[in-house]
Copies of this chain bind each other. A is one copy, B any other.
Amino acid sequence: MEQEALYRLSRSLQKWILEAAAYTRTQIKQPLTVSTKSGPNDLVTNVDCANQAFLAEKIKTAYPNAQLVGEEGAGEVPDDWQQGLTFFIDPIDGTMNFVKQRANFAIMIGVYEDGQPLFGIIYDVMADQLFWGGPQLGIFENEAALKNAVDEPLQEGLICVNTRMVVTNEAHLQEVLYQCSGVRIYGSAGITFAHLLKGQVQAYISKLAPWDIAAGRVLAETLGFQVLQFDGQSISMMRKEGMIIAPKQAIQEIVTIMNGSND
């Protein structure tokens, strides 16, 4: 994409996300309509759906040829998502936090051009922290440029994880945790990415859907983080899959432990 068109895309997405967030804040003290999806702890609310519809409408109008993938509504990732522009929308990431905490949730959009990371944006609505940018623009928290990831050994960093994977010790995850400085669980991919981007946690190990990872991947990779499956392969962006986000040294150590032969 030409630089001028990219700037326009950046300004537009920031504007639309801030508008969706303003609406979301008006609903923060209201009763929510909450439904379950795959299980009792997989929630969707009226605000998720309203934000999805609002953002999809804005994007479709401005980019009529683009493909949309969204957590609420759009569903499956099309086989040809690597052709042209694709927008991955998460209208409320961390819906359980939204419902129970009325804080610590994010609105996220990741944009890919011919399958390559172009632009990512994550907005921590209640903290008013906007993380945005891409490989051609650099990465910013509000208006401040963020620093590259610090490439340290695993033992120097905090790790964010998926609770169920810890309990079942999937892929030797407990061994990874014993090697690091500590574990944090924030309940939202977007809020976890905010901590990664600010350098407050070193690694994130979880199972993420395409709309959970799309924006964070653009931002994190641009700052020098790697995003890999547990076996060290590239992620597909086609389905929910296990993945590790960390700088080079730590991700090498984590992949080694997770593929250890001490089963």
Which A residues have a C-beta under 8 Å from some C-beta of B?
40-41, 96, 100-104, 155, 157-158, 163, 166-167, 169, 174, 177, 181-187, 195, 198, 200-201
Contacts and interface: CB of A to CB of B under 8 A. Distances in A.
Given A40-B181, A100-B157, 10 more contacts: A40-B155, A100-B182, A100-B201, A101-B158, A101-B201, A102-B200, A103-B200, A163-B166, A167-B174, A185-B185
Contacts of A201: 100-101
Contacts of A186: 184
A158 B103 CA distance: 13
Nearest to A96: B182
Contacts of A155: 40
Contacts of A158: 96, 100-101, 187
9 closest A-B pairs by beta carbon, nearest first, are: A101-B200, A185-B185, A163-B183, A167-B174, A96-B182, A184-B185, A100-B158, A184-B187, A183-B185
A96 to B, nearest CB: 5
A253 to B, nearest CB: 16
A177 B163 CA distance: 9
B195 A101 contact: yes
A186 B187 CA distance: 11
A250 to B, nearest CB: 13
A177 B164 CA distance: 9
A169 B166 CA distance: 11
A173 to B, nearest CB: 9
A187 B155 CA distance: 16
A167 B186 CA distance: 18
Contact of A181 (B41, B177, B184): B41
A104 B160 CA distance: 15
Contacts of A166: 163, 166-167
Of A40, A163, A186, A200, most buried by chain B (CB within 10 Å of CB) is: A163
Contacts of A103: 200
A204 to B, nearest CB: 13
Contacts of A40: 155, 181
Listed residue (A157, A187, A198, A201) with the most chain B CB atoms within 10 angstroms of its CB: A187
Nearest to A163: B183
Nearest to A100: B158
10 contacts: A40-B155, A41-B182, A100-B157, A100-B182, A163-B177, A163-B183, A166-B167, A167-B174, A184-B186, A185-B185
